[in-house]
């Protein structure tokens, strides 16, 4: 049993490690995201670096599918036992891909894809917390950090009955399993946002991360 769980986590990690943003941006423009813009391997940076909405959309869809498809396939095959490890592995691989020397994205789009395949209400809750946080400070890292903490807290106080009702039955996840999966994913994502959050709070954050530019225009996206 334990070997099967390790295998699920390893498969998830290897799939998540596929650097969608890096590959798509390199293919479309020849640019290396690691050396461009914020250096983040995600949809927002790929859009900001290339100035092409299509590139950002391709990356966003690829990262969403990278989370949703493996989970959906595992669900359809009845492989619920390793679902938690698979999901956490997918996000861990996206954030710390072995192919790019562990220099990856921030995991939000891949996590969103996993939510769509297991419990869409988690994604809605995260988006709600994110939107509320942006009314306080319009900055992607501030919004993401607050939303991560708020969602983690929500998952610890919600009853098993509520979690069970909101979780897709095809996933086979118990309330304990859903909590474990979600908190594991949030910890990984938290690790990628904590530094830029505190840089923002201490005034060291790059202007490129701000939602509102000096001209008052909005970027309309978040780090992925």
Residue 7 is predicted with a pLDDT of 93
Tokens of 76: 């359809």
Count CB atoms within 10 A of the CB of residue 87. 34
Task: Give me the pLDDT at residue 217, please.
Answer: 40
Among 106, 144, 150, which residue's Cα sits nearest to residue 125?
150
Identify the pLDDT of residue 205: 61
The reported pLDDT for the residue numbered 79 is 86
Q: What is the pTM of this model?
A: 0.88
| For residues 162-167, average pLDDT | 96
Report whether pLDDT(143) > 50: yes
Of residues 211 and 59, more confidently modeled: 59
Q: For 126-142, how does the pLDDT look when each residue is reduced to its tens digit (9 = 90+)? A: 999 999 999 999 888 89
d(C-alpha 63, C-alpha 70), whole Å: 12
Condensed to tens digits (0 to 9), the pLDDT of residues 1-38 reads 778 889 999 999 999 999 999 999 999 999 999 998 88
Strand, coil or helix: what is 121?
Answer: helix
**The predicted structure's pLDDT at residue 216:** 37
* Residue 48: pLDDT over 80: yes
Alpha-carbon radius of gyration of the chain? 17
Own/partner contacts of 132-136, CB < 8 Å, gap of 24 or more, are 134/211
- Average pLDDT (105-115) is 96
* DSSP conformation class of 42: S
The pLDDT of residue 23: 96
Q: In the predicted model, what is the mean pLDDT of the chain?
A: 89
Going by pLDDT thresholds of 50, 70 and 90, the confidence category of residue 206 is low
Report residue 211's pLDDT band, with 50, 70 and 90 as the boundaries: low
Task: Specify the pLDDT at position 139.
Answer: 87
Percent of the chain exceeding pLDDT 70 equals: 90
| Interior angle at CA 123, CA 5 and CA 155, nearest 5 | 65
Give the model's confidence band at 219: pLDDT under 50 very low, under 70 low, under 90 confident, else very high: very low
């Amino acid at each position: 049993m334990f070997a099967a769980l390790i295998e699920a986590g390893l498969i998830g990690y290897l799939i998540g490690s596929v650097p969608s943003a890096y590959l798509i941006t390199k293919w479309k423009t020849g640019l290396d995201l690691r050396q461009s813009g914020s250096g983040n391997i995600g949809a927002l940076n790929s859009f900001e670096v290339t100035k092409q909405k299509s590139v950002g959309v391709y990356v966003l869809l690829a990262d969403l599918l990278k989370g949703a498809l493996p989970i959906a396939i595992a669900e359809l095959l009845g492989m619920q036992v390793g679902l938690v490890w698979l999901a956490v592995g997918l996000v861990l691989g996206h954030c710390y891909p072995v192919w790019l020397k562990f220099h990856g994205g921030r995991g939000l789009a891949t996590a969103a894809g996993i939510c769509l395949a297991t419990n869409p209400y988690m994604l809605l809750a995260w988006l709600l917390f994110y939107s509320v946080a942006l009314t306080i400070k319009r900055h992607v890292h501030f919004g993401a950090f607050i939303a991560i903490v708020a969602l983690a807290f929500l998952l610890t106080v919600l009853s098993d009955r509520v979690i069970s009702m909101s979780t897709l039955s095809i996933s086979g996840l118990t309330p304990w399993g859903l909590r474990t999966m979600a908190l594991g994913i949030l910890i990984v994502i938290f690790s990628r946002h904590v530094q830029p959050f505190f840089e923002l709070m201490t005034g060291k954050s790059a202007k490129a991360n701000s939602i509102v530019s000096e001209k008052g225009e909005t970027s309309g996206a978040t780090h992925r």
